[in-house]
Amino acid sequence: MHPDEPKTQPNTQTLSAHTVRKVAALARLALTDAQVEQYRDELSKVLEYADRLRGLDLTGVEPLANVGETTNRFRNDVPGPTLDNAILISMAPASMPPFVKVPKVLGDGGGA
């Protein structure tokens, strides 16, 4: 066994077509039967790789939040300039003044 390989065997179980379709529905994706089979294989490989990573011995390895020497810059949450309502409505594809109409994205709405 290579020293970098995990000590445990990865889970070789593949995802079911039902699971792939369920994930696709949650992501609002319509998949053909061929795509379901393709993604079953691809997603199973991703999960197998995650299992391999889970098996690595990370004793003595410090957690890493950022690979570079940069740090997050925090600033106060201060409102900036806004568009005039009339300009915003004139730019929107659909409106019900004084509101902008947007497609329903929750429930049975089609979303984007």
- Residue type at position 24: A
How high is the mean pLDDT of the chain? Answer: 84
pLDDT band at residue 10 under the 50/70/90 scheme: very low
> Which residue, 16, 11, 54, 10, is CA-closest to 36?
16
Residue 110 has pLDDT above 60, yes or no: no
Would you place residue 43 in the very low, low, confident or very high pLDDT band (cuts 50, 70, 90)? very high
Q: Provide the whole-model pTM.
A: 0.48
> Where in the chain are the domains?
1-58
pLDDT greater than 70 at residue 89? yes
Q: Is 10 helix (H, G, I), strand (E, B) or coil?
A: coil
